[in-house]
Amino acid sequence: MNLIVLALLSFSCGAITAADKQAINQLLQDSINEQQLRGVTSVAVVDEHGLAFFTAYSRDGSRFDKNTPFLIASHTKAMTGTLFAILADEDRIDINRPVSQYDKALLSSPKLNGDDITIKQLLTHTGGFTSIQHTFATAYLGYDDNAALVQALNQQVLVAPDKSFRYSNTGPIVASMILETVTGKSWQQLMQEKLFSPLGLSNTTTGISDVDTIIPAITSAKDGEVFSRGHHKTDKTMHAAGGVVSTISDMATWLQVNINQDHSALAKHNIFVPLHSKQVPQSKDYFSYRRDGYTLGWDTAEYNGERILTRFGNYGGYSTHVSFMPERKLGIIAFTNLDSAYALPHLLANFAYNRLLNKDNTAAKLAEEKERVKAAITRTFSEAPDLQQIVAASTFPARQLGSYSNEQSWPSMVFYVEAEQVKVRWGVLSGTLLKKEEEYYANLGVIERPLSFQLNEDQSATVTNGSLRYSHQ
């Protein structure tokens, strides 16, 4: 197999030496080769001057350079929080006001009180509620229009016993819906007008349809082979909590602005104070980071004795690490498009930090975190779909093919044959039907759903998707 280094770019930076660059690049290559990983993985170092170093590596010839588009997934929340800070600085919106003062009809569920939930609570995941149907519609399945989205928001609402930090997509998306009411412009339009254009992020967008090609995510099969490739997104599922496509070059500019707290192109005042300061507490260990709070879009954490702000993204095989150490004026962007390697970007970022900061325990930390990555890879393979479980069309009852509808406003499901296999379409997602022992599953790339087929006395067919009941049309 042809081994290639896709890109190794050096930039003038007093803090990073040729030996540092070689060490980071060597760890990247060794990590991929030792585990025989597919896809492409990259790491970039950013300082107050911008992109200081970038390297990417692939065993299979996949091309990835600093201008290759990729989905940043949940790092979108950090950008959405910045948008709100900009509009608050312009006195267009007050994030401390309750939802009802801007849109009385938005939260219509009897379980919710719009007078008691502020926009800030939505942005900081302390609103105390989430909506299952709204989450599925925005992240996975799509929706017809804003009216359908509002309807989904107020169905299957789950209310928490208190308003402590509980991470989800719901809050930022609901907050973005309020922005449209206030400004008459969509979240997508405002991101372009207030953030991307002023910062010169010319290759950053909220629209999948704006991108000619995007590097696909890879879903692994149980034996380490490729089960599927794709980005699993449409414009309808690009949202304020996970709906931005960018490049390493643009993300380096974005991180540089945060490192320098340079608000000159965005706002009159230093909007980065609330953006970089803990607004609510949290207590969570993630990989080797000890998270202690949340800003308007970043997690505040401690790593190896250093204060670090992080906001990662993970969606359907993509794993994006974006972080910076404010006091050190140093940041890292790391990325992979392989689901089983989701922890590898964190390993690479941490090694880069420790080496560049001359930490005495760099080798010990690396050894410890390598074990975490290996365990994550092993766990992913053990839970991965098996190619032998793909349902062949010849073994599936033909009368169970076709379209199924749901009476609770969930999108239709369609079972059809393609390349002699049974395929499944649910909303905007498409995937493969699997059979594990006697149980059917739909693998839709970013989610997997248990399915149960029934043939009724009148010969009509029904299918149960999790707890959702569908009838053959």
Domain ranges of the chain: 4-66+217-383, 78-190, 387-472
Q: What is the pLDDT of residue 460?
A: 85
pLDDT digits (tens, 9 = 90+) for 314-349: 999 999 999 999 999 999 999 999 999 999 999 999
| Cα–Cα distances in angstroms (integers) from residue 457 to residues 252, 396, 464, 468, in the given order | 62, 19, 17, 20
Q: Which of 221-225, 405-409, 445-449 comes out lowest in average pLDDT?
A: 221-225
Q: What is the pLDDT of residue 224?
A: 86
SS (H, E, C) 13-61: CCCCCHHHHHHHHHHHHHHHHHHCCCCEEEEEEEECCEEEEEEEEECCC
Tokens 């299918």 locate to 463
387-472: CATH architecture = Beta Barrel (2.40)
Q: What is the mean pLDDT of the chain?
A: 94
- d(CA 226, CA 211) in angstroms, rounded, equals 24
pLDDT at 329: 97
Q: What is the mean pLDDT of residues 229-243?
A: 95
Residue 83, CA distances (Å) to 79, 191, 199, 262, 272 in order: 6, 7, 12, 14, 11
Band of the pLDDT at 4, cuts 50, 70, 90?
A: very low
The phi, psi pair for 151, rounded to 5°, reads -60, -45
Under the banding of pLDDT at 50, 70 and 90, the label for residue 456 is confident
Q: Is 305 exposed, middle or buried (0-12, 13-18, 19+ CB in 10 A)?
A: exposed
pLDDT at res. 455? 87
Quote the DSSP letter at residue 73: G
- Region of 164 on the Ramachandran plot (φ > 0 left; ψ -120 to 50 alpha; else beta): beta
Q: What angle do CA 426, 431, 432 make, to 5 degrees?
A: 120
pLDDT tens track for 151-183: 999 998 999 999 999 999 999 999 999 999 999
Element spanning 191, H or E: helix 187-191
For residue 457, name the pLDDT band (cuts at 50, 70, 90). confident
Residue 223's pLDDT is what? 83
pLDDT of residue 15: 77
- Looking at the domain covering 78-190, what would its CATH class be? alpha beta
State the pLDDT confidence band at 8, using cuts at 50, 70 and 90: very low
pLDDT of residue 297: 98
Q: What is the pLDDT of residue 95?
A: 98
Q: Is 222 exposed, middle or buried (0-12, 13-18, 19+ CB in 10 A)?
A: middle
Which stretch of 60-64, 353-357, 362-366 has the lowest confidence by average pLDDT? Answer: 60-64
Residue 14 is predicted with a pLDDT of: 47
Q: Could you tell me if 11 and 48 are in contact, meaning their C-beta atoms sit under 8 angstroms apart?
A: no
**Residue 364 confidence (pLDDT):** 98
Q: Which pLDDT value is given to residue 405?
A: 97
Is pLDDT of 452 > 90?
yes
* pLDDT reading at 271 higher than 90: yes
Domain 4-66+217-383 and domain 78-190, same fold? Reply is: yes
Backbone angles phi, psi at 449, to 5 degrees: -125, 135
- In tens, the pLDDT along 190-227 reads 999 999 999 999 999 999 999 989 999 999 999 889 99
Beta carbons within 10 angstroms of residue 362's beta carbon: 18
* Domain 4-66+217-383: assigned CATH number: 3.40.710
- Return the pLDDT at 171: 97
pLDDT computed for residue 62 by the predictor: 86
- Cα-based torsion angle of the residue sequence 310, 140, 179, 278 in order, rounded to the nearest 10 degrees: -20
Q: Residue 12: what pLDDT?
A: 35
For the segment 86-126, what is each residue's pLDDT rounded down to a tens digit?
999 999 999 999 999 999 999 999 999 999 999 999 999 99
Contact between 194 and 266 (Cβ < 8 Å): yes
CA distance 68 to 74: 18
pLDDT for 165: 98
DSSP 8-state secondary structure symbol assigned to residue 412? P
State which H helix or E strand residue 404 sits in: strand 402-405
Roughly how many angstroms between the first and final C-alpha of the chain, as a whole number?
49
Average pLDDT over residues 452-473: 92
What average pLDDT does the segment 78-83 reach?
98
